Amino acid sequence: MKSSNLNQNRIVNLSPPSLLALGFLGLIFIGSLLLMLPFAHQTEISWLEAIFTATSAVTITGLSVVNVGEAYTPFGQVVIMFLLQCGGLGFMTFAILAFMSLSPKLGLRQQVMAQESIGQTSLKKVSFTIKAVFLYSLFFEAIGTLILTLAWLEDYPFGEALFYAAFYSVSAFNNGGFSLFPNSLMSFSGQYFVTFTISMLYIIGGIGFLVLMDVKQNKSWRKLSPNSKLILTTIMGLNLSAFIVLWLLEASNPQTLALMSVGDQALNAWFHATVPRSSGFYSLPMDQMSDASSLVTIFLMFIGGGSLSTAGGIKVGTFIIVVISVISFLRREDEIRLFNHSISEKTTFKALAVVCITAGLVMTGFMSLLILEPDHDFLDLLFEAVSAACTVGLTRGVTGELQPASLIILMLMMYAGRLGPLTLAYLIATPKKSRLKHPPSEIQIG
């Protein structure tokens, strides 16, 4: 009895990142077992392929070594959809929702754990935030399912159209990027309802739940928090800038936009300007895009979406804080200001740490791929490394050609990319103060 209590206390005393890490590992393990069941796949699937698919789904990445629509049965596809939902909303959110269903009130320990996992600053708002995350997800996925079902009724029977719509809504809102069609959304590059609906789902999912809650509560730009204003303006600016740049770069490319009408060009340029923010769908052949467009896509993948969202990357808040910090330094300003509010040094250091750690993860994985895959193109492998580490899921067509050791590297990168910012946030949230004061030293920079 004492041993049981001791083991239970050890589990309870685990830090939020440790619980999340174990939770995601558990989901990957269960998902792999389910995908290996005889009635989960209709073609021969290896253990490595099943584990890779489960890892990609739980980390809401979207990279795949098999054709999901052909390799897995409807049961297997439902398993993938469930893993995407769990990975998108976060294991901790589901755990606390389950706990709340058994107990009407969270204890202080559980509230602190939830606070660290979802980035909420007020303990009183933890339960409300988690409920909102769950309800917002169901709401937008239901709207997406309805619109896509209506759009696909012309091509498929009702049951099939409904299943496709539900799968793509979950995959899009959670920025998963998994597709049941062999060429992702290339067959629908001219269908405005389908392409635009899916793009809006992953954009909304990538904004961040706290921002969505703030917009719903205040309904006025003036009343929004500085964080919400920052996220919304940055995402809008990045999307519009990337839209113009990619349209100009690909307008003369006969393999992508050149042969399309102006309307279709605009639609697909918009889609590919917004999709790198963490969703692995594509309506144009990625391997046929120019090197310049691929470089822009890599940059967008590295940035990702908003905090407490289903997107990956370093997050737009991190990106803009670093940019503003550099501008403030060049202007010799005494403080870093944003919407008439100052940004603390701690926030700046945290942003720099996230950028450096993510860049380090990308470079480590990229170097490993270069060593293991000497016959593959440099840009293709860099693209793959950034896509995995930032949990995006876009590829230039090399994922299925990689050897097992390289696939293991990608799985580790996807897993680390999903957990990295959460772990870093927890470490920074618990500062270690020293009683000793050290003398200052001038270090030459630049």
CA–CA gap between residue 366 and residue 377 (Å, rounded): 12
What is the model's pLDDT at position 419?
80
What is the model's pLDDT at position 444?
57
- pLDDT higher at 59 or 220: 59
Query: Domain map of the chain by residue range?
Result: 16-102+124-426
- The closest alpha carbon to 265, from 284, 241, 242, belongs to 284
CA angle 131, 228, 333 (to 5 degrees): 145
391: left (phi over 0), alpha (psi -120 to 50) or beta: left
The CA distances from residue 424 to 98, 308, 419, in Å, are 26, 14, 9
Would you say 140 and 201 are in contact if contact means Cβ atoms under 8 Å apart? yes
Which whole number is the average pLDDT over 405-414? Answer: 95
Phi/psi of residue 338, nearest 5 degrees: -150, 115
The pLDDT tens digits for 266-280 are 999 999 999 998 888
> How many C-alpha atoms does 19 have within 13 Å on its Cβ side?
22
What is the model's pLDDT at position 425?
54
pLDDT exceeds cutoff 90 at 100: no
- Beta strands 341-343 and 336-338, pairing class: antiparallel
The pLDDT tens digits for 380-395 are 999 999 999 999 999 9
Greatest extent of the chain over all pairs of C-alpha atoms, in Å: 74
CB within 8 A of 215, min separation 6: which ones? Answer: 224, 228, 232
What does R_g of the chain's alpha carbons equal in angstroms? Answer: 22
Would you say 423 and 12 are in contact if contact means Cβ atoms under 8 Å apart? no
Which whole number is the average pLDDT over 128-132? Answer: 76
What is the percent of the chain with per-residue pLDDT over 90, rounded to a whole number? Answer: 51
Centre a 10 Å sphere on the Cβ of residue 122 and count the other Cβ atoms it contains: 10
What is the model's pLDDT at position 188?
87
Average pLDDT over all residues of the chain: 84
CA–CA gap between residue 84 and residue 420 (Å, rounded): 18
Sign of CA dihedral 267, 269, 273, 278: positive
Which whole number is the average pLDDT over 133-146? Answer: 91
CB within 8 A of 350, min separation 6: which ones? Answer: 318, 424, 425, 428
Which amino acid would we find at residue 126?
A: V
| DSSP-assigned letters across all residues of 264-332 | HHHHHHHHHHHGGGT----SS-GGGS-HHHHHHHHHHHHH---TTSS--SS-HHHHHHHHHHHHHHHTT
CA–CA gap between residue 408 and residue 390 (Å, rounded): 16
Which whole number is the average pLDDT over 8-23? Answer: 63
pLDDT exceeds cutoff 50 at 11: no
pLDDT exceeds cutoff 70 at 96: no
| H or E segment and range at residue 336 | strand 336-338
pLDDT exceeds cutoff 60 at 250: yes
What is the model's pLDDT at position 441?
61
